[in-house]
Structure 1
Amino acid sequence: MALTEAGARARLLRWPRVLLFGDSITEYSFQENGWGAYLAERLVRKCDVVNRGISGYNTRWAKLILPRLITESTDSIVAVTIFFGANDSALKELNPKQHVPLEEYAANLKSMVQYLKSVDITVDRIILITPPPLQESAWEKACLAKGDKLNRCNATTGQYAQACVQVARECGTDVLDLWTLMQKNQDFSSYLSDGLHLSTKGNSFLASQLWSRLENKLSALPSLLPYWRDVDHTNPEASLL
């Protein structure tokens, strides 16, 4: 069969999508041993895991670009993670560009959830993730190496994490409270590479926690296309089109 003829007969094969939306902790998640790469491996043949992490961004900027990432109602998106707060919680007097006031941060998260609902992504497909805890001494070293002062503190980050949890409660979405969960281990610094971003151990921890929430949502998804032993080699069109 000619390829043009096969194309005319075939139904378009659409891979469902999991959208990861966040800042640098999401952008870096496809690096070796990253939490996004882990999800992609677990979901291969079932969905595409799409990385839309943008380093340095906060919720004020994120809410503006979300409608450019998802422009219309779609049933192909089976899950969305919204993972911001590490930049919003920067101290205003030392990092005014990234800082977003706490109340605005919460309002921005609500706005993004409401937008997703407006394009028919139901709340059961949305997971909010709080910022991780900040290891101040390590992050201070990273700041000083760039000629900056320590521009974040863990107590403030915790307020943003609590606001994220509250937004999830009010909106009816799932939430992964990374800030609290990581600090159940007294030495949470091992989860962080520089006091702010995730280490290999931190990526593994987040991947495990997130998968425990996604697995129930995505367990019913079938593997796409038949197993190779099940393809009729005498008539592959019957199996594949």
Structure 2
Amino acid sequence: MTTATVEPAAIRSARMDQAQAVRLTRIAIVVAILATWEITARSGLLYRDVVPSLLLIMRALAHLLVEPTFYANLGVTAGEVALAILIGGGAGVAVGILLGSSPFLQRAYEPLLHYLGPTPKIIFFPLLIMWFGVGPGSKVAMGALSSFFPVAISVAAAMREINTVLIRVGLSFRLNVSQMILKIYLPAMRAPIVNGLRIGLGVAIIGTLLAETKLANQGLGYAVIQTYATFDMPRMYALLIVVFLLAVGINAVLGRYTELRAAAARSPDAR
């Protein structure tokens, strides 16, 4: 009885200590990076304006956050990325299910995903400009193309890992294709789909911002390239910090959702 009550407490204590050690390590890494940056900025080893002081960057960030033009550019980029992940991620899920459910299609087409997936998508941007114009359409297409491959590959691999018992149960109830997808495939692949979308979101942001730096008159990518053109380095770094924090925040929310769903699936009530 004593062992049964003490052992879980010991395990919880060990996990809390480990979690605290992880947090302290992360904080130490961030502090070391910031200290290295500030030392480099003050040392004069590099041109002062290329590596500005953290104080100048924070001041530029404070000014940035009160400017209406920043929020206008943020809204443009956020809308483009959201539409890109909706189109590219949705197409990736559909293609992944199709390839994963058909051995013939898997052998015929899945290698193409693995060949084209690592290809830099920026090489297709001139074609996207011709097809969708110089406006937001080409930026959305760039983000959608970037996000499609990681989602499709993740879902196709997850389809092959679905418990065959679940599939046989669905077939025994004579579920049609749409019912099999909604009631069997998608619930069984919730975690791989979310992880694929996390990766897809990251590359969609990269693709969209990269396209905005090439040809645009609005958006965060355009704002970054404008600060570079005027050599306003503190403002450029401030913009990059905002993009980084937004991407990290969205990724953290998706990661937390995956953890909560996994914990719910392991709980006794779920069984």
Shorter-chain TM band: under 0.3
Structure having greater relative contact order (Cα 8 Å, sep ≥ 6): 2
More helix by share: 2
Higher share in strand: 1
